Amino acid sequence: MVYEQLYAWGRAYRDGSLVCTRVYVTIGRDDRRVGLAPHERRYVLARFSERMDAKLQAELRELARRRGQAARRVAERMEPIQIVVDDPRHGRVRIVGRIEPPQVRCGDLREIEFGLREPAQ
C-alpha cells in the first residue's frame, strides 16, 4: 500500500539563503517495497514553482534536459537543498537532501517533480 501526504507550500534554502519561495512537496511511504527499513520506504518529491534563484533554475533546467547517467552526474554536482514546510498538524518539517532527476521531463519547469534523496539515517 502507498501512503501519501501532500503539502501545499514549502520554501527551499541553500546555505541559509532562500532559493525558492514556493515548493510543492509530496512526502510518502511505499510499503510495497519489501525488505527495506521504514525510513528507506519514504520518498520525497518537490516541484519548485515561484521566485526561484537563477542558479537553481539553471540547474533544474539542465537536470530536466539530461537523461540517464548524464542526468545523474548533473544531480551529483548540485549542492544539497533544505525544504521547510509549516504543517498545521505536525509543526515545522525540515527535509534536507540532494535533488534527483525527474521521472517525467515534459512541460514547464514549474510542473516537473524532482525527487529528493535524503541522507541515510
Asked whether the predicted pLDDT for residue 19 surpasses 70, the reply is yes
Mean pLDDT over the full length of the chain: 84
**Tens of pLDDT along 23-68?**
999 887 765 656 555 556 678 899 999 899 999 999 999 999 988 8
Distances in Å between the Cα of 44 and the Cα atoms of 17, 41, 54, 92 are 21, 10, 23, 16
DSSP result, 84-120: EEEETTTEEEEEEEEEE--S---S-GGG--EEEEPPP
